[in-house]
Chain A
């Protein structure tokens, strides 16, 4: 074992502190008051965040710190170390997970106030942070997969947090099962990686990739496709995206942390982490572009007609994740990662803002029943507005820079792709403005009595909103493009990890593209303002919606769920019922049962020999001796 220096200890503490919080729940979960439990749970994550900052300061300019602890598994040539890789990519992810994580912990103290499962909620959150850190810090695929499964488990636990509601439990099951489908593919990918590389360690694989797959591109294509299939599950891409909107059943902070900022980006992290492999598989990259583009457009269109505040944001998340995959597919890794970060800020803020609205409105989530909240929830409104401007990519907020970066990279690849990417941006602008205006502007559409009860959220919930609003507004300055005289800090920082050269277009074209998209977005802003504020349009009620074919098609989410149900679930269920009825109970059970019956029968017969008479015993034993002598000596 390598000698233990401070880096070893700090790196180990980063994930262990939240884990300690999880175990602490069993010690003090029932005993301490709400505020103490919440403070402790947040404290673990904040400490972990501070230690991540320390590690950030220690990263060497061009390289990674490998932190080895022990051999986790060993069997023959199969070795999996328990080791971390602290490099530019993982350290930013660590800061993101623990930083946004801390804010959401703090927010949850207010949001979950009075809930029966208050301390259980924080235990799950702590556990989630632990697994997420394991995922991003691991230096090999197996340890990463352990974290990957762990966050899946926590996601399941937290979606079904209010488990007494059967619908929520069903949503949790759906998330878990759909993710398992992706994970299965991913496992096959890991097996193939081991078969061809003989190791799971990233740095070894990256070093060997060129030589191993110099000629044989089919296999690397399959490996990357399998990894990508795993990523579609976790990051909710078509065809495995259906779980994420249902996952909104969980408490809103969970949606913000797990289903917007961190866990769902694991798929993107995985591909950036494996960028050396993906660079060798052009066909896979084309598939990623198609899937990413399809997802961003389909989810964007579905979001246009959703009326649940969290569902809109959920589809928006799916759409933004699709955009990131789109960027990954064209090789714009830094751009995708940049958008991952800014998206984490503003989408977490949007969810927390939505949570604040739901909290203030005592559980109401239907935007048709809101309106005019800007006066009643001043601070929530302002922070929400900042997030909206960020996500619809108006300068100079963070979303503008990251989305522009993606679009500029895509244009370098193909103008047609740029057109679709920009279209996705316009869809985003429309559904976000629709959401914002319907919730905060216009006239109040709720009964007077309810309206009076609306209140602004407590400051423990508002504080995280301010911080996230600051990050959403200023986060773009991490990577100011050279067109504005910026130094592109993030891209340069990531160079040791992401070795690909970016696609660049000349400044003139970039100015034009930027101008076009900004003008179009502004157009949509005025259009929606005119529609929802001046004309006071309200989305159709469900009954009216049913008569409009296309709108209904969007509102029903392209009928994905119904399609899966008819094509996969029902036939499978029928098949299982068939097996159960005709093979299991009538053949297998009877055969196995008959063995048991036979044993009982024999047992009952033979025990009669044990009749308690000593003379019989002696007689039988003499017979035994004679029998043995006969069989073994005479014969």
Chain B
């Protein structure tokens, strides 16, 4: 709870920074508070708010692990946004504040104990996103993306609310513990199943799982790249945490429905994401589809749902996140300086921009699952998980589709290493160089010490 309070306060502080011309102060304070939050979670300094909270949220090892990954990933995101926005942009501190609020919402979301908090968490996480998607006010595309995101998002908010009210109708409570004990004593009512499926649909929407993915490619392409990076990484971690927690809750009602539903969604999401991505030419759109594919992939661990699911999912998401933020950042740097947009135009990036290309290639090869980069173990753990749980056919489908997905990343890599010097050398500032090198090191370190990372995430 301390971390949520801290981040909310820092968000407010950041807004005031904008008012009092202290904009250079905002980012360092946010980064420091994120690091402080990491410390809070690592050492369980949540503070005693049990009287106040009335069992609305719970901080246990599950929420701690997810929160740590969310906060850790946001650090990369903030560093990226520092180099994405030029110093002169209006409302920079407001943008920082909105992201900070959203991060706090994400933490709340993975800690929910009461369905009301689930709803609140989703909203606190999402509302800043709608604004951010449209934050590039002079761009028609950005406005369109914001509006599309908002309309579809609002629609699914209502679906989720509908689901929550149905569960309330069935048991007369929002508290998951109470509902669980009522399920065990009274059995599940059909209303509960209906409500739970509706809530799951709303979560699938947040995760951009098929068939609720339509918004993702358009929003990814139109929105500012920082928002795209944020939505495809941190937001997905939070949403996946909520999904996992909710799945643990509803499986107290034992039924085939859940496994079948997750399996169905996982497979069509993987197939759809991987297949459609191969004809994309816009990098951001391509990553939207590859993000969709990865959600389906991660959902395999949700189907299995045992003690190992949490660390494996977190490892995969963390690996994906660090690489994705790096890739988005480099892409946006190249785009700002040279106007390059499609994948074909990236051809020959390596010739004059060694460091940018190295970072890009590491991120792409990590996506493709080349050892010893972290993406390899991200995939490996999930597939091994499926094999251990004897879901062999699921593992086989996942492997085949990973190969199909690898085509995309190798396609971009091949473009980058082409001998072509049409892209001029781009001047990078020293901190940005350090950021790229640091990200490469993190991607490598995650891949070289996977067991140690898993221990932290457990």
Residues of A within 8 A of B (CB): 599-600, 602-604, 606-607, 609-610, 612, 614, 616-618, 620-621, 623-625, 627-629, 631-633
Check A618–B257 contact: CB distance below 8 A. no
Check B279–A604 contact: CB distance below 8 A. yes
Check B279–A603 contact: CB distance below 8 A. yes
Check A606–B201 contact: CB distance below 8 A. no
Partner of B198, one of A609, A625, A627: A625
Partner of B148, one of A603, A606, A614: A614
Check A607–B279 contact: CB distance below 8 A. yes
Partner of A614, one of B151, B198, B275, B279: B151
| Chain A CB within 8 A of B12 CB | no
Check B197–A610 contact: CB distance below 8 A. no
Candidate in A602, A610, A616, A627 with the most chain B CB atoms within 10 angstroms: A610
CA separation between A545 and B148, bound complex, in Å? 89
Q: Contacts A603-B279, A614-B152 hold; do A628 and B201 have CB atoms under 8 A apart?
A: yes
**Shortest beta-carbon distance, A543 to chain B, in Å?**
50
Give chain A residues whose Cβ lies under 8 Å from the Cβ of B277: 603
Check B194–A629 contact: CB distance below 8 A. yes
CA separation between A618 and B151, bound complex, in Å? 9
Give chain B residues whose Cβ lies under 8 Å from the Cβ of A609: 214
Check B212–A624 contact: CB distance below 8 A. yes
Q: Contacts A610-B214, A610-B218, A627-B211 hold; do A633 and B278 have CB atoms under 8 A apart?
A: no
Check B264–A631 contact: CB distance below 8 A. yes
| Chain A CB within 8 A of B155 CB | yes
**Shortest beta-carbon distance, B32 to chain A, in Å?**
40
- Least CB separation from B211: chain A residue: A624
Q: Mark B252-286, 1 if CB is under 8 A from A, else 0.
A: 00000100110010000000100111110000000
Q: Mark B200-216, 1 if CB is under 8 A from A, else 0.
A: 01000100000110110
B residues 127-184 in Cβ contact with A at 8 Å: 147-148, 151-152, 155-156, 159
Check A603–B275 contact: CB distance below 8 A. yes
CA separation between A621 and B202, bound complex, in Å? 10
| Chain A CB within 8 A of B217 CB | yes
B residues 334-391 in Cβ contact with A at 8 Å: none
Q: Mark B204-240, 1 if CB is under 8 A from A, else 0.
A: 0100000110110110000000000000000000000
Check B276–A618 contact: CB distance below 8 A. no
Give chain A residues whose Cβ lies under 8 Å from the Cβ of B198: 625
Check B197–A632 contact: CB distance below 8 A. yes
| Chain A CB within 8 A of B193 CB | yes
Check B261–A632 contact: CB distance below 8 A. yes
The total of chain B residues at the interface (CB under 8 A) is 31
Q: What are the 4 closest A-B residue pairs judged by CB atoms, nearest first?
A: A624-B211, A617-B214, A603-B279, A632-B261
Check A633–B155 contact: CB distance below 8 A. no
Q: Contacts A599-B275, A610-B217 hold; do A629 and B197 have CB atoms under 8 A apart?
A: yes
Give chain B residues whose Cβ lies under 8 Å from the Cβ of A631: 264
Candidate in A616, A617, A631 with the most chain B CB atoms within 10 angstroms: A617
| Chain A CB within 8 A of B437 CB | no
Interface residue SS majority, chain B: helix
Check B275–A621 contact: CB distance below 8 A. no
Task: Contacts A610-B276, A617-B152 known; list 5 others, CB within 8 Å.
Answer: A614-B147, A614-B152, A621-B205, A623-B211, A629-B197
21 residue pairs A–B, Cβ–Cβ below 8 Å: A599-B278, A600-B279, A603-B279, A606-B276, A607-B276, A610-B218, A612-B218, A614-B147, A621-B156, A621-B205, A621-B211, A621-B212, A621-B214, A624-B201, A625-B159, A625-B201, A627-B211, A628-B261, A628-B264, A632-B260, A632-B264
Give chain A residues whose Cβ lies under 8 Å from the Cβ of B264: 628, 631-632
Check B193–A599 contact: CB distance below 8 A. no
Check B275–A602 contact: CB distance below 8 A. yes
Candidate in B156, B198, B201, B214 with the most chain A CB atoms within 10 angstroms: B214
- Least CB separation from A615: chain B residue: B151
Candidate in A609, A621, A631, A633 with the most chain B CB atoms within 10 angstroms: A621
- Least CB separation from A627: chain B residue: B211
| Chain A CB within 8 A of B394 CB | no
Give chain B residues whose Cβ lies under 8 Å from the Cβ of A632: 197, 257, 260-261, 264
**Shortest beta-carbon distance, A602 to chain B, in Å?**
5
- Least CB separation from A609: chain B residue: B214
Check B197–A628 contact: CB distance below 8 A. yes
| Chain A CB within 8 A of B6 CB | no
- Least CB separation from B265: chain A residue: A628
**Shortest beta-carbon distance, B195 to chain A, in Å?**
11
- Least CB separation from B215: chain A residue: A617
**Shortest beta-carbon distance, B265 to chain A, in Å?**
8
**Shortest beta-carbon distance, A431 to chain B, in Å?**
53
| Chain A CB within 8 A of B404 CB | yes
**Shortest beta-carbon distance, B243 to chain A, in Å?**
15
Give chain B residues whose Cβ lies under 8 Å from the Cβ of A620: 211, 214
Check B211–A633 contact: CB distance below 8 A. no
Check A606–B272 contact: CB distance below 8 A. yes
Give chain B residues whose Cβ lies under 8 Å from the Cβ of A612: 218
- Least CB separation from B279: chain A residue: A603
CA separation between A628 and B202, bound complex, in Å? 12
Partner of B404, one of A599, A610, A621: A599
**Shortest beta-carbon distance, A629 to chain B, in Å?**
6
CA separation between A629 and B151, bound complex, in Å? 23
Q: Contacts A631-B264, A633-B197, A633-B257 hold; do A618 and B155 have CB atoms under 8 A apart?
A: yes
**Shortest beta-carbon distance, A492 to chain B, in Å?**
51
Give chain A residues whose Cβ lies under 8 Å from the Cβ of B197: 628-629, 632-633
Give chain B residues whose Cβ lies under 8 Å from the Cβ of A604: 279
Check A603–B278 contact: CB distance below 8 A. yes
**Shortest beta-carbon distance, B340 to chain A, in Å?**
22
**Shortest beta-carbon distance, B143 to chain A, in Å?**
13
- Least CB separation from A602: chain B residue: B275
CA separation between A606 and B273, bound complex, in Å? 11
Candidate in A609, A614, A623 with the most chain B CB atoms within 10 angstroms: A614
CA separation between A634 and B283, bound complex, in Å? 41
Give chain A residues whose Cβ lies under 8 Å from the Cβ of B190: 633
CA separation between A633 and B200, bound complex, in Å? 13
Check B279–A618 contact: CB distance below 8 A. no
**Shortest beta-carbon distance, A351 to chain B, in Å?**
42
Give chain A residues whose Cβ lies under 8 Å from the Cβ of B257: 632-633
Give chain A residues whose Cβ lies under 8 Å from the Cβ of B279: 600, 603-604, 607
CA separation between A624 and B197, bound complex, in Å? 12
- Least CB separation from B214: chain A residue: A617
Check B152–A618 contact: CB distance below 8 A. yes
CA separation between A614 and B154, bound complex, in Å? 13
Give chain B residues whose Cβ lies under 8 Å from the Cβ of A600: 278-279
CA separation between A624 and B211, bound complex, in Å? 6
Give chain B residues whose Cβ lies under 8 Å from the Cβ of A614: 147-148, 151-152
CA separation between A104 and B275, bound complex, in Å? 61
- Least CB separation from B274: chain A residue: A599
**Shortest beta-carbon distance, B113 to chain A, in Å?**
26
Give chain A residues whose Cβ lies under 8 Å from the Cβ of B218: 610, 612
**Shortest beta-carbon distance, B175 to chain A, in Å?**
24
Give chain B residues whose Cβ lies under 8 Å from the Cβ of A607: 276, 279
Q: Mark B51-85, 1 if CB is under 8 A from A, else 0.
A: 00000000000000000000000000000000000
- Least CB separation from B261: chain A residue: A632
Q: Contacts A599-B275, A603-B276, A606-B275 hold; do A621 and B152 have CB atoms under 8 A apart?
A: yes
Give chain A residues whose Cβ lies under 8 Å from the Cβ of B156: 621
**Shortest beta-carbon distance, B149 to chain A, in Å?**
10
**Shortest beta-carbon distance, A330 to chain B, in Å?**
51
CA separation between A624 and B152, bound complex, in Å? 14
**Shortest beta-carbon distance, B164 to chain A, in Å?**
15
CA separation between A625 and B205, bound complex, in Å? 11
- Least CB separation from A595: chain B residue: B404
Q: Mark B302-339, 1 if CB is under 8 A from A, else 0.
A: 00000000000000000000000000000000000000
**Shortest beta-carbon distance, B267 to chain A, in Å?**
13
CA separation between A121 and B217, bound complex, in Å? 55
CA separation between A612 and B197, bound complex, in Å? 27
**Shortest beta-carbon distance, B87 to chain A, in Å?**
34
**Shortest beta-carbon distance, B448 to chain A, in Å?**
17
